[in-house]
Amino acid sequence: MNQKPDTDIRPPIVTLMGHVDHGKTTLLDTIRRTNVVATEHGGITQHIGAYQIIFQDKPITFIDTPGHAAFEKMRSRGAEVADIVILVVAANDGVKPQTIEAIKHIKKADKPSIVAITKTDLPDINIDRIKKQLQDQNIILESFGGQVPEVEVAAPKNKGITELLEVVLLVWQLSPQPYLPEDPLEAVVVESFLDKKRGPVVTVIVKKGTLAVGQKITVDSEIITVRALIDDKDQNVDKAQPGKPVEILGFKKIFDIGGIVSDLTLTKSKAGQPAKTIADIIAKSEEAKESFKVVIKADVAGSLEAIMSNLPKNLLVVSSGLGEVKSGDIVVAKLANAPILAFNLKINGQIKSQAEREGVVIKNYNVIYELLSDMQDVVALYEQAKHELKIIGRAKVVATFDVDGKKIAGAKVTHGRLKIGDQILLKRDNLKQEAKIVSLKRFKKDLEQVTNGQDCGIGINPSLDVRIGDIIESLG
């Protein structure tokens, strides 16, 4: 069956969360059973960690491994695979500790969510009570005047399933993602296990690009050629496009969920000038407006743990692992435009020269504090560089005037341009205040815009205490 949607929208990827025994598995099974056409192999019994249904001619992908730990793990690795979260709450049991935990995850990840109230076929239930409990957790349902849609279901009786799927499509319509089969491959590991007959099996959901048999791919420093792809109906397929869940065969080991699979061949041909220093990487990352990324290798689990849990927040660890830096790490680092931070490791000569050839920076540390302190500097520099990029114009205050009780800054534009209506930052040492440009004058003439080199009078709102020496930066 071809899963390609006939629109430009990628199929939504949906995950279920909620308290144990509230009916997640039953709901997932029912959705699958009632919406997947069985093949002659009876393929729908196959469990691959995710499946796709076609509902009202539109594909929807479900992650078939409910579990908060899995969700959190993916998120912490920067792999936000789910687009929509269905929060499952049983009508007879209400909000429980794991429901609250799920709500925390949903809020942190800032995902659109839908509440499925399950087991509504049971006697003596009070649904309003559940809605109030959710309200107490700041999940305000639509029927209570809030934003979160709710559906009452009873999976064993097939009640509410169609409605739930309709709501999923509706929510997706409001914040869809594009379908990009030609983009560089990005697939996320949702399950991985060792099969006695087939060896390591890695289930992924493709988010962008196309995964194909014979393709050279990499995940968590490992490089392989895809030997086979098996879909959720137990069929061998040649390729998998965005939204599609598939098992990949060909790996030599299993992986943590949340690992990101990328295409090696494509990235090689796309690689630009090699980066030589961390500063070059900052420059490149900022062009791409990405987060600053790193690859981390450490000698033992204890040091890796200590590093990971103390890294600055806005640093993205694209890959981490134990043991010596390998060829695959360099490939991943190059791909992500990230330096490799090695802790307490010897780097062999061959690896050093490969890194040099590929323009990958390897920094070796023996003291955790030094590594962390370097990364703090890097993040600060990077944030600064990102800020610089946003600045459209800069002026230095050389005089101040009072006009009708308001301060006007006599300034010289030293960079770019300033325009009426621009948001500005008024900076003095560590003080930063926000305002808007409301007037621009030059020799008593009103102007719309002033450019580099010009002197002008700048009126701002709110009327801040502008002083000589202050810097005005326009963010456009």
Angle at alpha carbon of residue 267, lines to 265 and 228, rounded to 5°: 40
Beta strands across the sheet bearing 199-208:
222-225, 216-219, 260-263, 186-195, 199-208, 245-249, 228-231, 236-237
Chosen residue from 4, 7, 21, 236 binding ligand GDP by CB under 6 A: 21
Chosen residue from 50, 81, 141, 154 binding ligand GDP by CB under 6 A: 154
Alpha-carbon span 243 to 240, nearest angstrom: 8
Alpha-carbon span 191 to 193, nearest angstrom: 7
Nearer to ligand GDP, 87 or 437 (CB): 87
Nearer to ligand GDP, 68 or 407 (CB): 68
- 38 lines the binding site for ligand GDP (CB under 6 A): no
- 279 lines the binding site for ligand GDP (CB under 6 A): no
Q: Judge whether 214 and 229 are in contact, CB under 8 Å.
A: no
Q: Judge whether 164 and 28 are in contact, CB under 8 Å.
A: no
Residue span binding ligand GDP (CB under 6 A) among the ranges 5-13, 74-82, 104-112, 148-156: 148-156
Chosen residue from 43, 156, 181, 184 binding ligand GDP by CB under 6 A: 156
- 155 lines the binding site for ligand GDP (CB under 6 A): yes
Nearer to ligand GDP, 26 or 463 (CB): 26
Nearer to ligand GDP, 26 or 454 (CB): 26
Chosen residue from 22, 32, 77, 394 binding ligand GDP by CB under 6 A: 22
3-state secondary structure of 191: strand
User: Judging by beta carbons within 10 Å of its beta carbon (0-12, 13-18, 19+), is residue 132 exposed, middle or buried?
Assistant: middle
Q: How far is the CB of 125 from ligand GDP (least distance, A)?
A: 10
Chosen residue from 52, 61, 99, 118 binding ligand GDP by CB under 6 A: 118
- 111 lines the binding site for ligand GDP (CB under 6 A): no
Residue span binding ligand GDP (CB under 6 A) among the ranges 115-123, 161-169, 295-303, 369-377: 115-123
Nearer to ligand GDP, 168 or 282 (CB): 168
Using CB under 6 A, which residues numbered 119 to 138 contact ligand GDP? 119, 121-122
Contacts of 388 (CB under 8 A, 6+ apart): none
Q: If binding means CB under 6 A, how many residues of this protein chain bind ligand GDP? A: 15
Residue 198: other Cβ atoms inside 10 A: 13
Distance, first Cα to last Cα, the chain: 50
- 271 lines the binding site for ligand GDP (CB under 6 A): no
Q: How far is the CB of 150 from ligand GDP (least distance, A)?
A: 15
- 319 lines the binding site for ligand GDP (CB under 6 A): no
Helices (DSSP H) in 45-126: which residue ranges? 68-76, 97-109
Residue nearest to ligand GDP (CB): 23
DSSP class of 241: -
3-state secondary structure of 62: strand
Chosen residue from 5, 25, 33, 374 binding ligand GDP by CB under 6 A: 25
- 300 lines the binding site for ligand GDP (CB under 6 A): no
Residue 302: other Cβ atoms inside 10 A: 9
For 270-289, letters b (16+ CB in 10 Å) and e give eeeeebeebebbbeebbeee
Q: How far is the CB of 68 from ligand GDP (least distance, A)?
A: 11
- 158 lines the binding site for ligand GDP (CB under 6 A): no
Alpha-carbon span 22 to 58, nearest angstrom: 27
Enumerate binding residues for ligand GDP (CB under 6 A).
20-26, 66, 118-119, 121-122, 154-156
